[in-house]
Chain A
Amino acid sequence: MRIELNGSDQEVRDGVSVGELVRSLVEAPERGVAAALEGAVVPRGEWDATTVEEGQRLEVVRAVQGG
């Protein structure tokens, strides 16, 4: 199925979790990483239990220099 991951269209397997997708971008998602599915923050403790559906938009952010 296709989803939008950090602004780009991506092919992912059905039933993929937020946690799997976060770890595909950040090897060890330590403090300073957060995820939002369809604009709503997914708490870290719910990453693995939250499934991403076809066409949904997932954003994964991390701390950077700035501001």
Chain B
Amino acid sequence: MTDLLELGGRTWGSRLILGTGGFRSHEVLEHALVASGTEIVTVALRRVDPRQPGSVLDVVDRLGLFVLPNTAGCYTARDAVRSARLAREAFETDWIKLEVIGDDRTLFPEPVELVEAAETLVDEGFVVLPYTNDDPVLARRLEAAGCAAVMPLGSPIGSGMGIRIRTTSRSSPSRRRCR
């Protein structure tokens, strides 16, 4: 692979970062991770359910993949920052996929809270990768805040619509710059 991705001070052979939601079993997830060739996998944190055996980390660690925790399920900057701090303790990593949701039907990001959370987390030394809209102005704000890269949605989460934002994402000044 010659087209390497530099992100967060590291070099990656795959440009694909895979989510873990929606898989019906850990076995199916494992097959998908192997088939994708990804090196980075994002996982969420939730309150412990003692009835739920096994952990998604069993799969990710077995495959030797890099864990990128996320703040899925957070609707405010305050909650997202708290979740990121828990993730740092749980996974011993400063990397965070920052998600602050503004609408529980579409799962579109909440841009004001997102920027606030990003600024706080960058100040605390996190490598921040925010899930964001296809908005180049917002992308610049996040870049200025010190985010390592932005992760604009390709289409509404879970919609299966493929990539629908080609025009605006191509106009983003941040599209090729990662830190």
A residues contacting B by CB (< 8 A) are 6-7, 25-26, 30-34, 36, 39, 41, 43-44, 59-67
Contacts and interface: CB of A to CB of B under 8 A. Distances in A.
Interface of B: 19-23, 29, 42-48, 50, 52, 55-57, 61, 67, 69-73, 82, 85-92, 97, 99
A48 to B, nearest CB: 15
A67 B20 contact: yes
B164 to A, nearest CB: 20
Given A65-B56, A66-B72, A67-B99, A31 B46 contact: no
8 contacts: A25-B50, A34-B45, A34-B90, A62-B48, A65-B21, A66-B70, A67-B20, A67-B43
A2 B120 CA distance: 34
Contacts of A32: 43, 55, 57, 90-91
A33 B29 CA distance: 21
Among B48, B57, B61, B85, the one with the most A-chain Cβ atoms within 10 Å of its Cβ is B48
A30 B55 CA distance: 10
Nearest to B87: A34
B156 to A, nearest CB: 15
Contact of A31 (B20, B29, B44, B90): B90
Contacts, number: 96
A38 B92 CA distance: 21
Given A62-B55, A67-B99, A6 B29 contact: no
A6 B99 CA distance: 22
A32 B44 CA distance: 10
Nearest to A62: B48
Contacts of B72: 66-67
Contact of B47 (A31, A60, A65): A60
Nearest to B59: A65
Given A30-B55, A63-B43, 17 more contacts: A6-B48, A26-B48, A33-B90, A34-B86, A60-B48, A61-B48, A64-B43, A64-B44, A64-B45, A65-B22, A65-B23, A65-B43, A66-B20, A67-B20, A67-B70, A67-B97, A67-B99
Contacts of B21: 65-67
Nearest to A33: B90
Contacts of A26: 48, 50
